[in-house]
A and B are shown apart, each in its own frame.
Chain A
Amino acid sequence: MCKDPRNDQELVSEFLRGNEDTLQELIVRHERKIFTSIYLLVKDRDLANDIFQETFIKVIKTLRSGNYNEEGKFLSWVLRISHNLVIDHFRSLKRMPMVYDTDEYSVFDTLPLEDTNIEDKMIADQIQTTVRALIEQLPYDQREVVIMRHFANMSFKEIADATGVSINTSLGRMRYALINLRKLIQEKQLVLSM
C-alpha cells in the first residue's frame, strides 16, 4: 500500500473542503500512537476504545467549527484532547460508553494491515504485549512522560509545561521509567530482541 505523501495539515485542509476520505488517512496514520497512549493510561481496552472514539468525535467537531489552529501539530493536538478526556474519566470515575450502529456502515471495514509473515508477526505481537505490560506497571507520572515523549513527540520542556513540573522533574521521571523498565525485564528474565 502506498503511503499518502500529503502531510497532516494538507489532509486536514482536504477534510475541511469535504473530502471525508482524508479523515481515514489521518486515523490510519496516527491511531496506534493515540490508542496506545490512551490504553496505557486507562489500562482497559474497551474503555480505551470508547475514549479513542470520543477523542475523534471531538476532533471532527472542532475541525468543522473552524477552531483548529494547530498547524503542523495535528498528532500532539489530538493526544492533548485524548489526555484531557482520560483525566475527565478519572475525575468522574464513571464510564459513559459510546454506542454506534456499525453494521450499517461497513464501507470502511478493510483497513490496511502490515505485510509480514505469520511467525514474525507472532513474535512481534508477543514483544508488544510484554513491553506494554511492563509499561503498565510504571507509576502514573512515569507512564505519562513516556507517552508524551514517545507517542506525542513532545520535548521535555513541553512535557514539563504541560504537567506543571520543572524540566528536571520530567527528565528524572523519564530516567526512572527507563531504569524501571530495564529492572522489570531483568527481574522477569525476559529476552526481548527485535
Chain B
Amino acid sequence: MNETITLNHLVLYLYNETEITESVMVQKAIDHDEEIAEEFYSMAAARDLIDHSLMHASKSSINSILSYAMLTAPLHKKATA
C-alpha cells in the first residue's frame, strides 16, 4: 500500500468525503498502484450493491400511519383541510 494513502483514505474517497487535495492524492494512488486500485474497485462494487437492497414497508403500515394522522389531526385543521 502507498505510504501516504491509508485504507481509511480509500473509504473516505469512495464516499466523497475527502478534501480536494486528498482526492487528487488518492486518485493518483489508484491510477498508479494496482494493489490500491484493486482494493478500491472491489469496495466500490460492494458499495453499489448496497443501494439495491432497499425494500418497501407494507401498505397496511403506511395506511395505518396516514389514518392515525387524519384521526388525530387538530380539529381546526381538519375543518380547513
Q: Which candidate, A1-9, A68-76, A87-95, A128-136, is the interface stretch facing chain B?
A: A128-136
Q: In the complex, how many residue pairs between chain A and chain B have their CB atoms under 8 Å apart?
A: 145
B61 part of interface (Cβ distance < 8 Å): yes
- Inter-chain CA distance A39–B54, complex, in Å, is 10
- Inter-chain CA distance A27–B67, complex, in Å, is 13
- Inter-chain CA distance A187–B59, complex, in Å, is 35
Contact B53 A135 (CB under 8 A): yes
Tell me the count of chain B residues lying within 8 A, CB to CB, of chain A: 43
Q: Report the nearest B residue to A131, measured CB to CB.
A: B53
List the 7 closest A-B pairs by CB distance, nearest first. Answer: A18-B77, A35-B57, A105-B67, A100-B64, A178-B46, A171-B8, A32-B54
Q: Which residue numbers of A lie inside 8 Å of B, CB to CB?
A: 17-20, 23-24, 27, 31-36, 39-40, 45, 48-49, 52-53, 56-57, 60, 64, 98, 100-102, 104-106, 108-109, 111, 124, 127-128, 131-132, 134-135, 146, 149-150, 155-156, 168, 171-172, 174-175, 177-179, 181-182, 185, 192, 194
